[in-house]
Amino acid sequence: MICFRLNMIFCFALAFKISLCGLAMSVGVAKVDVTPKGPVLLAGYGGRATEHQGVDTPLWARALVMGDEKRVAVVALDNCGVPQAVTDRLAKRLVKHGVSPDRLVIAATHTHNAPTLVGYAAVVWAGRTTPEQDRRVVEYTEFVIDKMEEAVLAALDRREPMQLEWAQGRATFGGNRRIIRNGKWAGFGFQRNAPVDHSMPVLAARDSSGKVRAVWANYACHCTTVGSRNRVGGDWAGFANEWMEKEFAGAVSLMTIGCGADVGPQPSGSLQIAEEHGRSIAAEAKRLLTDGTILLGGVPTVVSRRIQLPLVKPKSREYWQAQLKSGGFEHQLAKAMLAKLDTQGSIPAEISYPMSVWKFGNELAIVFLAGEVVVDYAVRLKRELDWSRLWINAWVNDMPGYIPSRRVLEEGGYEADFSQVYYEQPGRYDPDVEDKLVQAIRELVGEPFMARADQEPSPYHKLPSGETLMFKRLANWVTGERTEEEIRILQKLQGYVRVAQPAVGVVSKADSEETEWFNYAGDHDHRRFIRQLKTGTELAWITPPRPKTAGSTMVYYFSGGVGWETEPKTDGFALVLNNEEKLRFDVTRQLTRWDSKDGTVELTYLPTWTSNVDSGGFFFVALKGRIPVDRNGVVPITVRSLGQGSKRWFALDTQQPDFDKLLKLSQAFD
């Protein structure tokens, strides 16, 4: 057996070397520490106006180079953003080393805990800094350019034949941060039904022995888990690099960011959470490189372009003169706009925007976009192009600010409007910006990467459902230690689940309100609800039509929830069938059954998601004997508030679970 295993290992190594002979390319990788040596202002939060007070984790410039004659280089820099002037200065230095400017990519990790660079979000610091602070920002900018050059040169020196491979997986901690109410931006938070891009592509380079020497991963999420603490650190991207290098001993890792301008880490708020997010990236990278990858042959071809993105027509000189009377950032922006009018005669109505694509044959296209690009671009591009062969980076080579989509412009708010001030832009983008940018990307990527007519939708743009985990938890709970009352209810419920019929046909809006909250699986979903604020408030619906069956028990099921258990207790809610009150129930987070006084109606509630004050789950209504159907064969059901002055609520999920969900529920009882 030992000899057999040794032979297998030898055969694998031989096969890899044979493969390497045909597909190997010259690859080098290196990293250089760019942690500041002294105090300096950190980018990312305008309210953080003093120099940093310590270091949580080091910062790095990580370089990956490919090729001998036509060389390409990517630098992943732990920084909030790299202005075009910084990119140009590094590019000029690298020309003599065989890396032309169009074949250089500097991708910022967008950590909000790294020093600001000269030219980054200039309005944020205008009029707020001392000469000493400005000098230290200049010194750090010079330092980081030197260190990026050092990293690229070290990577060039360490080149050797390697095999490139890639795979695409999933990370899940990013959530859309734009809270939308009545179609308009209402602040930052976690909008669970808004788009995300949970794709996580990984590229690896293996040496002739099959050892991973470089790992490059990408995920579309703001690097803001730690928050605004005034300390240096790489946030989740830094931890991702640290953990990938632990998983692949001897390798250098590079973490870059996709179209995550409106996507934030969920949860956030501490170094520990940032490390958990980073560790999840590393675990997925390891899984992908273990389970199987796609080989890439040859140095990528590079196509680049600079386009003009349209802004709305800039305001007049009179407007900016009036704005001088305002304070803060608006005052500084007005000064900058008036200076342009004085020196250039006008304010440009377009933004010069760099972009490029690396194409590895027809196997993979990597798109590089400048600025903070919102997730809608990833969603659209992965619909119009072949998402299975597409990788999108943002925060590359320049920082013109946020790049909003048409949807974001319609909703307004931070990424569409007042963030433009910080980047010294005269106003918002014209809605044509989305079509113009997407069309340019399509042209650069080319026909071989267009989506097929029968292409399956990308699976990465919605938050993953908690349903599978919920059913597992429920099965474990059912088989655990239960009280005698719980056992009795579960035994009866086990029979009900197998025969239950859908309870919700047509819903009457009546007095109810609309919201989005956690459903039976813990997913954020649309629902209608009433509170115990006013006696008599109702939520009503009718069951789907069904022939009347005399003398038998009919069981109906629906999903919804009850909540805010800490609110004042009242007389609760009434369950009304065919205009007759049958029983009363109230908010609970426990398996509970209520019976009508005449014994003809049972209401059983099985919570499958709970918080400290709310719950969501499955309701079962058992009707015994004479079924109160109307002449159309339906049962009118109403839930009515019996109290007032309390925010306790009852909710009905808009999207009701189908029979497949009920089958899984039944299996959880077996």
- String of DSSP letters for 496-514: HHHH-EE--SEEE-TT-EE
In this structure, is the dihedral angle defined by the CA atoms of residues 165, 171, 177 and 183, taken in order, positive or negative? positive
Is residue 315, in this structure, part of any structural domain at all?
no
Is residue 378, in this structure, part of any structural domain at all?
yes
Helix (H/G/I), strand (E/B), else coil: 109: coil
Query: Are residues 540 and 512 part of one domain?
Result: yes
Computed over every residue of the chain, the mean pLDDT equals 93
Q: What percent of the chain has pLDDT over 90?
A: 84
Query: Are residues 514 and 454 part of one domain?
Result: no
Pairwise CA distance, residues 412 & 428, whole Å: 9
Name the strand (E) or helix (H) holding 394: none
Query: Are residues 636 and 518 part of one domain?
Result: yes
> Of 145-154, 230-239, 503-512, which gets the smallest average pLDDT?
503-512
Residue 14 in this model has a pLDDT that exceeds 50:
no
List, for residues 418-464, the tens digit of each pLDDT value: 999 999 999 999 999 999 999 999 999 999 999 999 999 999 998 77
Query: Are residues 203 and 273 part of one domain?
Result: yes
Instruction: Find out whether 93 and 56 touch, Cβ atoms under 8 Å.
Output: no
Alpha-carbon torsion, ordered 313, 316, 321, 327, to 10 deg: -20
pLDDT, average across residues 486-499: 92
Is residue 194, in this structure, part of any structural domain at all?
yes
Query: Are residues 507 and 453 part of one domain?
Result: no
DSSP-derived secondary structure for 324-365: TTS-HHHHHHHHHHHHHHHHHSS--SEEEEEEEEEEETTTEE
Q: How confident is the model at residue 395 (pLDDT cuts 50, 70, 90)?
A: very high
Pairwise CA distance, residues 395 & 652, whole Å: 42
Angle of the 131-157 helix axis to the 84-94 helix axis, nearest 10: 40
The CATH number of residue 565's host domain is 2.60.120
Query: Are residues 271 and 357 part of one domain?
Result: yes
CA 545 to chain centre: 42
Is residue 326, in this structure, part of any structural domain at all?
no
> Of 84-88, 306-310, 351-355, 577-581, which gets the smallest average pLDDT?
577-581
User: Which of 312-321, 478-487, 624-633 has the largest mean confidence?
Assistant: 312-321
User: Distance of CA 634 to CAs 402, 546, 596, 652, 659, Å?
Assistant: 53, 6, 20, 18, 19
List, for residues 284-332, the tens digit of each pLDDT value: 999 999 998 999 988 999 999 999 999 999 999 999 999 999 988 999 9
List, for residues 180-239, the tens digit of each pLDDT value: 988 999 999 988 889 999 999 999 999 999 999 999 999 999 999 999 999 999 999 999
pLDDT, average across residues 345-360: 97
List, for residues 545-570, the tens digit of each pLDDT value: 875 554 478 899 999 999 999 999 99
Instruction: Find out whether 527 and 516 touch, Cβ atoms under 8 Å.
Output: yes
Pairwise CA distance, residues 151 & 157, whole Å: 10
Helix (H/G/I), strand (E/B), else coil: 292: coil
Beta bridge partners of 604: 593, 620
DSSP-derived secondary structure for 123-189: HHHTTT--HHHHHHHHHHHHHHHHHHHHHHHHHHHT-EEEEEEEEEEE---EEE-EEEETTEEEEES
> Of 8-22, 267-281, 538-552, which gets the smallest average pLDDT?
8-22
Instruction: Give the domain extent around 597.
Output: 467-669
Query: Are residues 459 and 505 part of one domain?
Result: no
Is residue 511, in this structure, part of any structural domain at all?
yes
Is residue 44, in this structure, part of any structural domain at all?
no
CB count in 10 Å sphere of residue 194: 22
CA 282 to chain centre: 17
Total domains in the fold of the chain: 2
Write the secondary structure of 401-424 as one string of H (helix), E (strand) and C (coil).
CEECCHHHHHHCCCCCCCHHHHCC
Q: Is the pTM of this model over 0.85?
A: no
**pLDDT at position 13, please?**
41
Q: How many CA atoms within 13 Å lie on the side-chain side of 344? A: 11
Is residue 312, in this structure, part of any structural domain at all?
no
Q: What is the DSSP letter of 298?
A: S
Q: Which one, of 251, 231, 228, lies nearest residue 241 by Cα?
A: 251
Query: Are residues 454 and 413 part of one domain?
Result: yes
pLDDT, average across residues 253-259: 98
Is residue 228, in this structure, part of any structural domain at all?
yes
**pLDDT at position 630, please?**
67
Instruction: Find out whether 39 and 52 touch, Cβ atoms under 8 Å.
Output: yes
Beta bridge partners of 641: 573
β-strand pairing of 538-542 with 524-531: unpaired
Per the listing, tokens 């890396």 go with 99
Residue 483 in this model has a pLDDT that exceeds 90:
yes
Query: Are residues 270 and 178 part of one domain?
Result: yes
Residue 6 in this model has a pLDDT that exceeds 70:
no
Q: Which one, of 107, 117, 115, lies nearest residue 83 by Cα?
A: 117
Residue 5 in this model has a pLDDT that exceeds 80:
no
Instruction: Find out whether 538 and 530 touch, Cβ atoms under 8 Å.
Output: yes
Query: Are residues 249 and 297 part of one domain?
Result: yes
Pairwise CA distance, residues 440 & 351, whole Å: 15
Query: Are residues 484 and 372 part of one domain?
Result: no
Query: Are residues 452 and 475 part of one domain?
Result: no
pLDDT, average across residues 632-659: 93
